[in-house]
Amino acid sequence: MLNARISVPTSAIPGEVIEIKTLISHPMETGFRRGLDGEKMPRNILKHFQCTYLDNVVFEAEFFPAIAANPYLTFFIKATQSGELIFTWTDQNGKVTQKNRSISVQP
């Protein structure tokens, strides 16, 4: 499980556009660099990010070797009702890091 930071407002009013921020620790090794021994360092990257809100995918991203280490993503969603946001990062080997946050939406 990777170390991640997630920022979601704890409450919102229905229809409000809220900002979601995520930051995850990952080396995002490109596979093109050579180490001190002269050998190529194997590629090690995150491939996919997904955010679901009330079981619907609201944001998705695909990562490639050119993404910097510790990927930082920020995006906006419209809050409709109280529920859970699930954040899922999947690396190149299919290993999954999942975090969730809940938001209360009241008028």
35 binds other proteins (CB under 8 A): no
Minimum separation from the CB atom of position 7 to other proteins (A): 5
Among 5, 40, 43, 95, indicate the residue that binds other proteins (CB under 8 A).
5
The CA-CA-CA angle for residues 5, 19, 55, to 5°, reads: 80
Q: Is residue 66 left, alpha or beta, with left meaning phi > 0 and alpha meaning psi from -120 to 50?
A: alpha
Among 27, 31, 35, 65, indicate the residue that binds other proteins (CB under 8 A).
27
- Of the pair 12, 20, the CB lying nearest other proteins is at 20
Size of the site for other proteins (CB under 8 A): 13
Task: Answer whether 74's CB lies under 8 Å from 22's CB.
Answer: yes
Residues of this chain, 41-70, that bind other proteins according to CB under 8 A: 68-70
Residue 14 structure tokens: 């229905």
| Torsion angle defined by CA atoms of residues 54, 58, 59 and 62, in that order, rounded to the nearest 10 degrees | 90
Alpha carbon separation from 97 to 2, 12, 45, 48, 52 (Å, rounded): 6, 26, 13, 11, 14
Minimum separation from the CB atom of position 81 to other proteins (A): 25
95 binds other proteins (CB under 8 A): no
Which residues form the interface with other proteins (CB under 8 A)? Answer: 3, 5, 7, 21, 23-25, 27-28, 68-70, 72
